[in-house]
Amino acid sequence: MNHIASILTAAIIITACGGKNTESNVDSPGEEKSGKTKALETGADLLQNKSPLKKINAYLDGFHFYNGNINAQMEAHHYVSQLNEDIYQAIIYDGNGEDAKIMGVEYIISERLFKTLDEEEKKLWHSHHHEVKSGTLIAPGIPDIAEHELMEKLVSTYGKTIHTWHTDQQTTLPLGSPMIMMGFTKDGQLKQELLDARDKRFNVSTADKRKNRQDIPMPRVIPGANAWEKGEIRQFVITDEADSALHKHQGSPQQKD
């Protein structure tokens, strides 16, 4: 991974092209920032340390759908930091401009760590094999050689994605329940119009990327991932029922069908 990091650094990944071409899905209510607010922001920006944000050093663009409803699809802009060789974490936005809304988060782990999860936990995760091999997952603005090496790393990983603001549904505020998201696993699932619009904005060809990644070995998907394919749907619900399980497992929420 050090080799990849050096290539990405040389390319100045965050400031390179591949950004500011996708507006947020919604305009949210609220007054314009006052002069006082802007002054406070400027001061905080200069004086406060934001170490976690400085570790965000990669930008990935792909697509998600709501677990249990494959027809509810959206583009997702991931800003990623890597904790170690086995764990990545991403903040997900609905665009890549200054007005982009935070839609949610994604945790990405290696095949080695995914194998250690219990069977119920695995049902919350999706594989990245098809997203990588199909060319639908891209890293805008970096050289092809760097993107290819990054995709070699990601092809065998697994993601757990939660969206908290459903701007694809034109919600101008983060309303309702968080939702578990999934990734696509076969050709024909992702709406072509979404893919075409993305490719046009970024001036890329998914077909060319698919061809370029033919040499990346297709991993065997570990059983348990992509449980939605077998009708095993897990999703959050809002409830007022007291549940003792909430106080077990170190506060981990109970999953419901």
The token pair that represents 157 in the structure block = 């990983």
Q: Are 140 and 205 in contact (CB under 8 A)?
A: no
15: left (phi over 0), alpha (psi -120 to 50) or beta: alpha
Asked if 137 and 154 touch (Cβ cutoff 8 Å), the reply is yes
How far apart, in Å, are the Cα atoms of 193 and each of 65, 73, 189?
A: 15, 11, 12
DSSP summary character for residue 249: G
Task: Please state the domain extents for the chain.
Answer: 2-22+56-251
CA distance 169 to 172: 9
* CA nearest to 160, candidates 128, 186, 133: 128
> Of 216, 108, 153, which is closest to residue 5 (Cα–Cα)?
153
pLDDT band at 14; cut points 50, 70, 90: very low
For 64-78, 99-113, 175-189, 233-247, which range has the lowest pLDDT when averaged over its residues? 233-247
Looking at residue 32, the DSSP 8-state letter turns out to be P
| 53 touches 171 (CB < 8 A) | no
Q: What is the pLDDT of residues 183-238, one digit of tens each?
A: 999 999 999 999 999 999 999 999 999 999 999 999 999 999 999 999 999 999 88
DSSP assignment of 59-105 equals: EEEEEEEETTEEEEEEEEEEEEEESSSSEEEEEEES-SSTT--EEEE
- Which pLDDT belongs to residue 235? 97
Question: Are the CB atoms for 97 and 78 separated by under 8 Å?
Answer: no
What's the pTM? 0.87
